[in-house]
Amino acid sequence: DTAVSQTPKYLVTQMGNDKSIKCEQNLGHDTMYWYKQDSKKFLKIMFSYNNKELIINETVPNRFSPKSPDKAHLNLHINSLELGDSAVYFCASSQAGAPGYTFGSGTRLTVV
């Protein structure tokens, strides 16, 4: 009965590889997000989708491409991984009129 689940939890990969992180929420929320948390713990918004439509696309390299097949899923694909991409990536969801974001447990990406 996990509310926001993301997989995998850990991802170790070499520079130059392509990888994907998947996120699913069963809360019926209409908006989903990808956040990046760096080693200094800064939580930075990357993307936001509302009902499958991209509404926030911060200054993120175009190697990062989100995809939302339906409003319960938001995946993140990263091409040509670089060392600086190493971070914890959190998926989150929210519902208009209801306070707060619900975060997934995070994916720790390590690029070597």
Partner 1 sequence: QQPVQSPQAVILREGEDAVINCSSSKALYSVHWYRQKHGEAPVFLMILLKGGEQKGHEKISASFNEKKQQSSLYLTASQLSYSGTYFCGTDSGQNFVFGPGTRLSVLP
Where along the sequence are the contacts to partner 1 (CB under 8 A)? 40-45, 56, 90, 99-106
Closest CA to 23 of 43, 2, 54: 2
> What is the identity of the amino acid at 105?
S
CB of 79 to partner 1, least distance (A): 26
Complex with partner 1: residue 72 or 101, whichever CB lies closer: 101
Complex with partner 1: residue 86 or 102, whichever CB lies closer: 102
CB of 98 to partner 1, least distance (A): 10
Complex with partner 1: residue 75 or 93, whichever CB lies closer: 93
CB of 18 to partner 1, least distance (A): 25
Name, in order, each residue with C-beta under 8 angstroms of 37's C-beta and a sequence gap of 6 or more: 43, 44, 87, 88, 89, 90, 106
